[in-house]
Amino acid sequence: MARERLIVIGGVAAGLSAASEARRRNPSLEIRVYEAGPDISYSACGLPYFVGGQVREAGSLRVHTPEFFRSERNIDVLTNHEAVELSAHRRCVTVLAPGGAAPDEVPYDHLVLSTGARPARPDLHGLDLGGVFHVHSLQSTLALKRHLDSGQARRAVIVGGGYIGLEMAEALKAAGLSVVLLDRSPRLFEAVDEELVEVIRQELVRGGVEVFTGAPVAALAGDAQGRVRRVHSEQGSFEADCVVLATGARPRTKLAEEAGLQLGAGGAVAVNEYMETSAAGVFAAGDCADTLNLVSGRRTYVPLGTTANKQGRVAGENAAGGRARFPGVVGTAVVKVFDLEVARTGLSRREAEECGYRTAEATIRAAARARYLGGRDILVKLVADRATGRLLGAQMVGPEGVAKRIDVLAAALHARMTAEQVYQLDLSYAPPFSAVWDPILIAARQLLHALKGR
């Protein structure tokens, strides 16, 4: 009798989490992972730090090899194998192996789609010039690093002011380049509200980055050798011998869409809490799948490594016969901008109001730890539902004490706590770590005043 077969398409965060969890659940299951590229199991979130030199070797970002999965977990991982067609009703996938071999039609009993995301490609003249890069995979980042190490790049332009754009601004400055950041939006970094944006902008300028908002790029211009030399935008024309496109990510869903699977939020594959798609026996996880925002109650698209790994584990367990759940996310994220930590969770004021909430908010500055021990101020903003007092979101920025404090408020969002309940939290205190009144508690008290109209 043939063993049941699980096919996983995609071999980075979600895919290998799914395969590993399926193996734990069912030791006798045949598990095969197809990865279109040459790399598996690496830290995509560490790529900017490799560009900036904090990570010396690309190999440090690699976690496991295909040989590890074969020998240690009995999982067959095949790189440079591209899945080009999925037939959900026949339960088979067509795979192209390297070297020009004929397409192979592989049957499956269960399938996990973890095809990830692709970089959003703006409609611009000059994108194919030499010196233009995305930072979305290990190979694309290696290409950028080779360009930087060649000594040909002195002036960089970053297109996009989101998470990757902010991280790459610091990375390219650390690599010794002059840096211009162009964001088409009227304001920088729309993941947070206006109060925090100005602090971020000032830090970028302090770090030597020229920042232009309301600056959509019109075209890239090159020289006779086909290398990028200038970026034209509505805020001016800028010299460049290196351009990094940080214009966001889109779910990679071509395979699912052509197979007739239902798409959901953000154009990602629609899944339920069990990571099941609209096709029997097919699960999806990671940057190609949608999820539920636990604060708004709406479906959303959140391409983050934390979400991908959790969704992958749920998909893998259920593909192997389990019934695990992934309830959703509250949208927690953090980014380093030179000496600042910038974090957010839940809904911003704008997002909350778009969901129909009448909001109350409070923004405070307070020391992250005792000032007599060198404590410096952080900015904390909280947003609540005026009707119920329920916390809806939080944002923080500051030079210390931000990245992990946001997790307290993420936990409060999961628990659907009110501003009053947040204010009553028994948080730790010692002068090296916090003031006697933690910034979270100060902000919660101010939020209570706002809710009461004081």
The C-alpha atoms of residue 347 and residue 354 are separated, in whole angstroms, by 10
Please give the mean pLDDT across all residues of the chain.
96
400: its two tokens: 């210390």
Pairing of strands 377-385, 359-367: antiparallel
Q: Specify whether the CB–CB gap between 229 and 199 falls below 8 A.
A: no
Q: What angle do CA 94, 95, 101 make, to 5 degrees?
A: 120
Instruction: Kindly state whether residues 44 and 74 are assigned to the same domain.
Output: yes
Instruction: Kindly state whether residues 228 and 269 are assigned to the same domain.
Output: no
| Helix, strand, coil share of the chain (percent; to 5) | 30, 30, 40
Instruction: Kindly state whether residues 241 and 269 are assigned to the same domain.
Output: no
Report the run of H or E that residue 106 belongs to, with start and end. Answer: strand 104-107
Instruction: Kindly state whether residues 256 and 227 are assigned to the same domain.
Output: no
Residue 238 pLDDT: 97
Is 45 catalytic? The answer is yes
Contacts with 315 (C-beta within 8 Å, 6 or more apart), sequence order: 14, 18, 21, 112, 114, 275, 283, 284, 285
Of 36, 45, 43, 46, the C-alpha closest to 8 is 36
Instruction: Kindly state whether residues 308 and 166 are assigned to the same domain.
Output: no
Residue 84 pLDDT: 97
Residue 454 pLDDT: 61
15: its two tokens: 């895919």
Question: Which pairs with CB-CB distance under 8 Å and at least 24 residues apart come from 220-227?
Answer: 220/124, 220/125, 220/126, 220/127, 220/129, 220/132, 221/126, 222/126, 222/129, 222/130, 225/130, 226/129, 226/130, 227/129, 227/130, 227/131
Of 353, 348, 369, 364, the C-alpha closest to 449 is 364
Strand runs labelled E in 208-325: 209-213, 217-222, 228-233, 236-239, 242-245, 249-251, 282-284, 291-292, 299-300
In a domain, 288, yes or no: yes
Instruction: Kindly state whether residues 146 and 229 are assigned to the same domain.
Output: yes
Q: Specify whether the CB–CB gap between 369 and 271 falls below 8 A.
A: no
Instruction: Kindly state whether residues 238 and 271 are assigned to the same domain.
Output: no
The C-alpha atoms of residue 252 and residue 257 are separated, in whole angstroms, by 10
Instruction: Kindly state whether residues 444 and 351 are assigned to the same domain.
Output: yes
Tell me how far apart the terminal alpha carbons of the chain are, to the nearest angstrom.
73
Residue 424 pLDDT: 98
Residue 152 pLDDT: 86
- Helical ranges in 229-360 per DSSP H: 254-258, 305-319, 349-354
451: its two tokens: 């809710």
Counting as low any pLDDT under 50, the low residues of the chain are none
Global model pTM greater than 0.85? yes
Instruction: Kindly state whether residues 87 and 150 are assigned to the same domain.
Output: no
The CATH number that applies at residue 384 is: 3.30.390.30
In a domain, 326, yes or no: no
Per annotation, catalytic residue among 45, 92, 288, 355: 45
In a domain, 438, yes or no: yes
Residue 1 pLDDT: 53
Query: Which range of residues forms the domain containing residue 379?
Result: 339-451
Instruction: Kindly state whether residues 190 and 207 are assigned to the same domain.
Output: yes
Domain count, the chain: 3
In a domain, 331, yes or no: no
Instruction: Kindly state whether residues 240 and 181 are assigned to the same domain.
Output: yes
pLDDT in tens, 242-269: 999 999 999 999 999 999 999 999 999 9
The CATH number that applies at residue 221 is: 3.50.50.60
Phi-psi region of 153 (alpha: psi -120 to 50; beta: other; left: phi over 0): beta
In a domain, 332, yes or no: no
Residue 403 burial (10 A CB sphere; 0-12, 13-18, 19+):
middle
